[in-house]
Structure 1
Amino acid sequence: MSALSPTRPTTRGGGFAGAVAAEWTRLWSVRATWWTLLAGVLLMAATAAQLAIYASNDNTNDDPTDDRGVVTVGSVLIGAMELTQYAVLAIGLLAITGEYATGTIRTTLRCTPSRGRVLAAKAVVAGGVTFGFGLLLGLVGILAASPLLGEWGSVPLAGTLGDVLATATYLALVGVLALGLGAALRSAVLTLTVLFAVLMIVPLSLQEPDITPLTRISDAFPGVAGGHFMAGDTDPYPPVAGLVLLAGWAVAALAVGRSTLRRRDA
């Protein structure tokens, strides 16, 4: 009778959950992440406070035509996002450009050979972190603006919660957009430059001549679409259309990044 050989345990890969866990650990082990979060909090507090002071001053100066009336704290929060977003989206772009800068992307791809899985895991982590951070920034913006608005500010519970959720959703999608572009461009500086152009410079340039066809083109850009979504505008399209447009930009950026990641060596 032949001796039975000992049974060896089956080795299983971490799969997608393992890739997400690895990306989560990597993100929080990088010092730049913490500096980015700190910068976002400070920028939100400063910007929201400044906008609140402007609103209060408009109502208390000697020229009655400047009076804006009572404003919601949510509108101040949304206005502050125009600048604060650039600190937050750094989380998305640094999630991959940082690895290219240090060469650790080679280790990442050896541990998880499926490049699509790597990028998807990074998107889940970047989107989740920026969404959660967006909720925190919403609270910071409200706390910074409310006392300065005084009698000229209102804080409707349902509306304010909706504004906070909308801004967090916007930041999550912009973070994923930054990740996709970072995977395609592989440079933090270049990615940030392209993001700045796509989110602000190009749409403003199209809107400046006040020509209707150009303005409608600018409405399709992610920053403008996200702004319509956060503000709840119904013109030129409903808020959900702005959300769909922004999500489309994020998905398209991920697709381009995945294609580049698969075609080019690390």
Structure 2
Amino acid sequence: MLRKIALGVTMLVSQTVMAQEIVFNQKAALEQVYRKAVEAESLLPMNDLNVDFGYVLYQSEITTQSESEDLELENVRDYAAVYVDGKLQGRVSDNNKKIAIKTNPGKYLLQIYVENIGRITYGPEITDNSKGLFGEVTLDGNEVENWKMIPLNIKKYPVKDLKFENRSEAEIPGFYKAKFDLNTVKNNYLDISGWGMGEVWVNQKYVGSYWEEEKQRSILITSENLLQGENEIVVFELKNNQQKTMKLSQIPVFK
């Protein structure tokens, strides 16, 4: 029994030593992947914006009368992060459509970044396959109107063409870049603990997505996508934009 415990401790220490920290010190503005905006009095689902999968930014001006008002969305497909004047207020989904907006009374820019995770291909809801935001959005019971809807070309935009700068403390979604060195090329797991929802590219190749709700907290990066020496990683993050580091692990990471 003692030998097994000692062996377990040795393995744990070894794994800790082998974990390599990656520091993201550059950021690219999301405006670089904006597609043509559509303006309308009412919300339009992604289908009407010619977006089959991916992300759309819905934004409108709002006026608050108190320090806390309920924002309620009629339909959210599938997941959204809510910002007011660039500050994260929280997240909503089709199972949780109400959120408290906490501001001083005044006029603000409401921005709702929505991701369509996938299409329904079976069951009774197959005929209702609308994605994005649709129906009404109300603030303190009053309908929010006059929307600008901007499809975001996240996955198809060449990451090599993104223009990065030294990152600031801004909370809004964007792309983050870092470099890391490897002495030996082999499979690694990218530990994304603490990050919220996003996409990852390594050496300009797309390697996967992540979501904080999932049990697994790592992405496999195969040796074919890695280089001996310097490597580059780019991450798009939707909500936890204060995060600055990830780690490479030799084993998968779970909650």
**Normalised by the size of structure 1, how large is the TM-score?**
0.26
* Structure with larger Rg: 1
**Normalised by the size of structure 2, how large is the TM-score?**
0.27
Higher relative contact order (CA 8 A, sep 6+): 2
Higher percent of residues as strand: 2
